Amino acid sequence: MTETGSRLRAQDEPAAGTRGSQGPPSPSGHLDALDGMRAVAAFAVLIFHVAIESATALQNNFFAALLSRGDVAVPIFFTLSGLLLYRPYARAVLDGTKPPGTTTYLVKRALRILPAYWLVVATAMFLWSRDHIGDVKTWLQMVFLAQNYETHPWWFGLGPKGLAQMWSLCVEVAFYLVLPLVAALLAMFARRGGADAGRRARRLLLGLAALAAISYLWTVLSYYPEYRPYMNTWLPRAWTFFAPGMALAVVSVWARQEKDGPAGRFVRAVNASPGTLWLVAGLAYAVAASPVTGPRFSGVDGVWSGVFELALYSTIAACLVAPCAMLSRGDTPVGRLLGNPVMRYFGRISYGVFLWQFIALYLWYDLTEQRPFSGNFLVNIVAVGTLTIVLAALTYRYVEEPARGLLRYLHRSTVSARSPEPLLQGRTR
């Protein structure tokens, strides 16, 4: 939900002789369209939550059914994180570059995630959970994003009031923590294929397919010998969403090495017909909005519904992200649609949109004295959306940007300590 790699300054220009947007994508650098896709996902989650709270998504009609599956935005966030965070590890395996240092990587993630998150946690706790302010265990769970692993919490649902959406951030942080180890294991497996980049890439993709399969096995295990719904909020169930993004990272690097190989042909096909992939995503979404994925807003009602939901949501996320991830330049319909200044700005504040939306929602309901699962959806989405954007913009300006500035300072200090040469490395993530 929070990876900012799409905002990096480009380091690798498209190779000479590539045919416009059909050239191989840059394996690192600024990808404006991904900012736009992150904005789409952030506001899709907001619309979903307001639609549920307004009871619009719980009605028995086609429009309500479509609104009820807006939680597919969470897999989109996971796919984006898989793409952007695994990309330097894929380069290390296929290009022979140095992988990210684990300590530096974890510090970057902590500075990116925690300051704004802690602010929102403190706000929600003081607004609606004052009876538990003195509960040290609760604070430790919330501060370190461990609330998913409390199987008998005092709160109802996914978290304390105002913080229910943070379950997905817990999953994201778990992914951050295990990624260096998973990347190392994948690299070991890939290097057993020899020095050929194509063979290594195929082995990486095979390993990622096995990683995605864990989610389906995990879903089956969550139902036997009895249904344990808390397992749905643990990382193993989400690998099928992270793996497609990681696979796109592999393909984007591989395509630059073998422009006429399978990866290069895949990139050209995606750039030639992004609408086809988005159509597939739309059709998969329509199927997901049907009873095949179980009842709305109340979890899945059987193992097959759970498996279908994983497969459909993975397809939607992969098909939406791929056209953005495979771009080599922004002057394309996809680039103009998702990479324009407005979408880029909303992409930059999307983390705040994700963090503040429930607080904005409940503040609005308290102010207007609306009862839960009631209200006018259109009025509520305008009011809650406006308040959320304001809070997100302020958080970006006064919390996220200073944290990012500290990150840049630490990076310069580290590089200066290592070498007396002038800084030429450019921006950090």
Domain spans of the chain? 20-418
Radius of gyration over every alpha carbon of the chain, rounded to an integer in angstroms:
21
Angle at 317 between CA 316 and CA 323, to 5 degrees: 100
Cβ neighbours around 398 below 10 Å, total: 11
Dihedral of the alpha carbons of 149, 121, 170, 383, in degrees to the nearest 10:
120
Which residues, at least 6 apart from 356, have a Cβ–Cβ distance to it below 8 Å?
A: 120, 387, 388, 391, 392, 395
The pLDDT of residue 26: 60
pLDDT tens digit sequence for 223-273:
988 889 899 999 999 999 999 999 999 999 999 888 888 999 999 999 999
Whether the CB-CB separation of 68 and 362 falls below 8 Å is answered with no
- Any idea what DSSP says for residue 132? G
Nearest one of 250, 279, 208 to 91, comparing CA atoms: 250
The pLDDT of residue 424: 33
Cβ neighbours around 320 below 10 Å, total: 27
Tell me the residue type at 243: A
Tell me the residue type at 264: G
The pLDDT of residue 298: 55
The pLDDT of residue 41: 96
The pLDDT of residue 21: 42
Residue written as token pair 């923590």: 177
Which residues, at least 6 apart from 184, have a Cβ–Cβ distance to it below 8 Å?
A: none
Give the whole-angstrom CA distance, residue 10 versus residue 227: 47
The pLDDT of residue 399: 95
Whether the CB-CB separation of 27 and 87 falls below 8 Å is answered with yes
Nearest one of 282, 289, 235, 230 to 48, comparing CA atoms: 289
The pLDDT of residue 422: 39
The pLDDT of residue 318: 97
Give the whole-angstrom CA distance, residue 5 versus residue 249: 12
Backbone angles phi, psi at 185, to 5 degrees: -65, -40
Whether the CB-CB separation of 271 and 21 falls below 8 Å is answered with yes
Whether the CB-CB separation of 93 and 190 falls below 8 Å is answered with yes
**Residue ranges of the chain whose pLDDT lies below 50:** 4-21, 419-429
The pLDDT of residue 396: 96
First-to-last C-alpha distance (Å) of the chain? 15
Residue 101 pairs in a beta bridge with: none
Angle at 213 between CA 234 and CA 48, to 5 degrees: 50
| Burial zone of 6 (CB within 10 Å; 0-12 exposed, 13-18 middle, 19+ buried) | buried
The pLDDT of residue 23: 60
Nearest one of 207, 210, 212 to 235, comparing CA atoms: 212
Tell me the residue type at 245: G
- 86's tokens: 């695994």
Tell me the residue type at 111: L
DSSP three-state, residue 372: coil
pLDDT tens digit sequence for 363-421:
999 999 999 999 999 999 999 999 999 999 999 999 999 988 887 776 666 555 554 44
Give the whole-angstrom CA distance, residue 43 versus residue 416: 40
Whether the CB-CB separation of 399 and 115 falls below 8 Å is answered with yes
pTM higher than 0.85 for the full model? yes
- Any idea what DSSP says for residue 162? T
